[in-house]
Structure formats: C-alpha cells, structure tokens
Amino acid sequence: MKPLKHVDSNMNNLISDLQTLIRQPSVSAKNEGIEECAKLVQKMLTKAGIKSEILRLKKGVAPIVYGELKSKKNNSQTLLFYNHYDVQPAEPFELWDDPPFSGKLKGNKIFGRGSADDKGELITRIKAVEAFLKTTGDVPCNIKFVIEGEEETGSAHIDQYLKKYKKKFACDGVIWEFGYVDSKNRPIVGLGMKGLLFVELFVKESIRDAHSSLAVLIKNPAWRLIEAVKTLRDSNGKILIKDWYADVQPFSKKDLEIISREPFDENSFKKEFGIKSFVANKKGLEAKKALVGGATCNIAGFVSGYTGEGAKTVLPGNALVKIDFRLVPKMDPKKQVERLKKHLKSKGFSDIGIKVYHGEAAARTNPSDPFVSQVKEAADESYGTSILNVSNAGTGPMYSFVENLKAPCISIGSTYMFSRIHSPNEFARVDLLKKTTKCICLIIDKFGKT
C-alpha cells in the first residue's frame, strides 16, 4: 500500500515535527504555553492537508484544536482521532539528563516531556492521514481530529465541548489518544478505561503550627487524618466504604476469556518498579483481573508539618491527604462521593473536610463490535501480533465520548510501557512511532471499506 511506503521514506519529517511539538511547552497544570501549542498543532494539521480550526468555550478554558477531512469516495463512515496537546509538569528538573523540552534524539529514542504522552501519539495520527493525501490525494473515510488541552488536569471541560459540538464531532468510531506497547513489542488494543474520583481530605486543628511539646494538650491533625484514612481500605486493597462495590458491572464471559489470554510478565513488571510482590500477593489471573477491573483507593500525597531536611520539633496546625479512587463500569463518581461522605460521618469523622477535584466514569467497548476486529487486524499486520485488552488500568474521558457520541472507542498506539511518561526522561521510540503510523494507515483503510 502506497501510504505505508510513504511512512517509511518520510520518518525524518515525523521526527522533526515531533521535536518541534516537544520544544513548545504546554503544561496545563501551570497554563504554560497552552495557547501557543494549540496554534502550533493547528498549523501542523493545516500543513498536512487537514482543514482545521480552534474551538473555544469561554475565557480561561483551554481551546480544542479541531480537524476535519472529507473523503471523496466514502462519505458514509467517519473515524475520529481523540488526542491532547497538553503535558504533565516536568519537575523535578534536576532528574532530567537533558532539558525536558529539548526533544533530543538519541539513537532510537526521542526524549522530552510529551514525547510519548501525547505528542508522539498525535504525530502518528497526523502523519498517517498525510500519507494518504500525499500518495492518493484522498482518504478512505471521513476523518476528524479532536485535540484537547486539559487532559493532564482531568479534562474538566471535555464534556461541555462534546455537548456543544455534538453534531460537529459526530462519528462512527474513535481511536483513543494513546496505546501501550509491552516489553515484547506487542501493542495493546485497549477497549476501555477505568474511571477516577480525585478528592482531598483535610483537617485544621489550630490557627498555626506549635512546639511539639504541646502535643500533650493540642490534638495533632495528622494523626486524626491517619485514623480516618485507615478506615477507607484494608491491607489487601479492599475498599471498606459501605456499598462502594454495589453498582459494579461484573466481567462477562467474553471479558474473562480475553483477560485469561492476555500475557502479563509479572517478573519484568516487578523488576521495572523494584518491587517484590503485588498487593494482597496477587498472582496470575487475579493480578490481570485487578489491572483491568479492580477498583482502587490510593493515597497520592500526604502533607503535614515539616518535611525538609533534618529535624524540626513541630506540631502541625493542619493536615491534608490527596486520594484517587479508580472506578470501574457502572460506578457513578457522584454516588461514590456521597458514599465517602456518609462513611466518614458514620465513623465519627464529620470534622474532616472533603474537596472534590474531579470525577470520571469508566467506559468499555463491546469486544464483539466490528470496529474491534478492524483495529486488531491492523495492529497484527503492522506489529506482527497484538494483544486485546478489556480495559486499561488508567483513566481518561472515554466515558464522555461514548455517552455523547454513541461511538465505540479503542486505544492503540506507540507508547512503550516503560517509556517513563509523567516522569523525568520521558521518551518515545522511533521504531514504535513508525509501526504505529503504519497501523493507523491500515485502520483508516479497513474502516473505509466497511
């Protein structure tokens, strides 16, 4: 197929464009470079031959870059690519071997914040469409791009965008913003994502920090918070909040078949993270089921008192803990918040404050949907073999797309599973960028023939 040969002979352009994107910081958490990056992405879409525009909701909300290309021969099928141009903060800077926005190429790796998540993935989609236009002057199906700038801070406004531009974004299938490649270079074809509820619990005991000798009289808010947090889950990871699992959708027979076939190298995983065992000493199928469909209660951060070098005998005046709960299908974030509040009150912790940052429901695509086999076949052709995954362990706004657009969503991409996303020295592998760009070409071709 001509587009595949075009990809082979134009990898230097792909690398150069990715480096340009990486060199433009776009940290949504700090509102750094968001407008500049949105304009850069729009420019890249236009350069590739894709009609593009910047969509806005209101002042202060990151814009969406929208791209659209109509097929001359097949106007009945529309494939939408969802990606994001924002990245995580690069701190701590001192742990990077090179500047975090350098886009430095070293052998088979391109380093920099966003190189994998998600600018590398975005480039594969743009270059696949460009390959068709350069070699055939057309695309096999209608193409749309929805590229947001708030994914790394929880996609707070994506639902509003989807509702406002529902007709504009209408499609028959969605290729999600990322996809992992395992340690044996097999791409993971993901059919879902877990949901997320992120909260902050806090206690204020006194108007200021005090000398720790006064701990005999003044209550320590850190102890109070520790006592409350310990009631949320047991040592095996089971969440102890009443009715927390009441609405969980159990795995189907088909789901369990896919999970049982999915390879998972426990030893490589443990070695990568320097751990000896999993939570509750899970092994084999139980470990795989947990990754795909296990709800979690995770302490993301605990802050109180003095945390610097050396000793400081201080009794803190306040304490806070940040907690993220991973949710699975049929868990409603709003209902789960109410269950958390009732739990704390029933356990005698009504004095503890709760701040809800954001919540997203989980989503899954039916493994029997024809779109699944098309993507799986394309991945097998490009990589040699691929792995079907019922649901990714991470979270994204997939539910909003499924709910508003009524279209199946599938993740497939170039992100090596140990590419250090969200960490210093994040990188993208050039060989995987090439294979994924070819895979996207094949998906477009197969999708256009349905």
* In a shared domain, residues 316 and 436: no
Question: Which domain range does residue 175 map to?
Answer: 2-191+365-448
CATH number at residue 404: 3.40.630.10
* In a shared domain, residues 55 and 112: yes
* In a shared domain, residues 412 and 438: yes
Picking from 360, 382, 407, the residue at the C-terminal end of a domain is: 360
> Quick check: is 424 in a domain?
yes
Q: Would you list the DSSP string of 73-136?
A: S--S-EEEEEEE--B-----GGG-SS-TT---EETTEEESTTTTTTHHHHHHHHHHHHHHHHHH
Max CA-CA distance within the chain? 80
Tell me: cis bond preceding 97? Omega within 30 of 0 counts: no
Confidence of residue 2 (pLDDT cuts 50, 70, 90): very high
The fraction of the chain above a pLDDT of 90, given in percent, is 94
> Quick check: is 260 in a domain?
no
* In a shared domain, residues 331 and 372: no
* In a shared domain, residues 179 and 109: yes
> What residue spans of 294-383 are helical by DSSP H?
333-346, 370-383
* In a shared domain, residues 209 and 316: yes
Picking from 360, 379, 405, the residue at the C-terminal end of a domain is: 360
Tell me: cis bond preceding 397? Omega within 30 of 0 counts: no
Whole-number Å distance between alpha carbons of 433 and 439:
10
* In a shared domain, residues 92 and 41: yes
> Quick check: is 108 in a domain?
yes
- Total domains in the chain come to 2
> Quick check: is 167 in a domain?
yes
Q: What would the mean pLDDT of 408-416 be, rounded to a whole number?
A: 97
Residue with the two structure tokens 């090439």: 434
CATH number at residue 208: 3.30.70.360
> Quick check: is 263 in a domain?
no
Beta bridge pairs of residue 8? none
Which residue type occupies 315? L
Q: Is the model's pTM score more than 0.95?
A: no
Whole-number Å distance between alpha carbons of 389 and 374:
15
pLDDT tens-place string over residues 74-92: 778 999 999 999 999 999 9
* In a shared domain, residues 13 and 161: yes
* In a shared domain, residues 181 and 132: yes
pLDDT tens-place string over residues 277-307: 999 999 999 999 999 999 999 999 999 999 9
> Quick check: is 259 in a domain?
no
Which residue type occupies 364? R
Picking from 319, 336, 360, the residue at the C-terminal end of a domain is: 360
> Quick check: is 204 in a domain?
yes
pLDDT tens-place string over residues 239-248: 999 999 999 9
* In a shared domain, residues 392 and 435: yes
All residues at 6 or more sequence positions from 439 whose CB lies less than 8 Å from its CB, including other chains: 187, 378, 379, 381, 382, 383, 412
* In a shared domain, residues 157 and 17: yes
> Quick check: is 137 in a domain?
yes
* In a shared domain, residues 203 and 100: no
pLDDT tens-place string over residues 158-198: 999 999 999 999 999 999 999 999 988 999 999 999 999 99
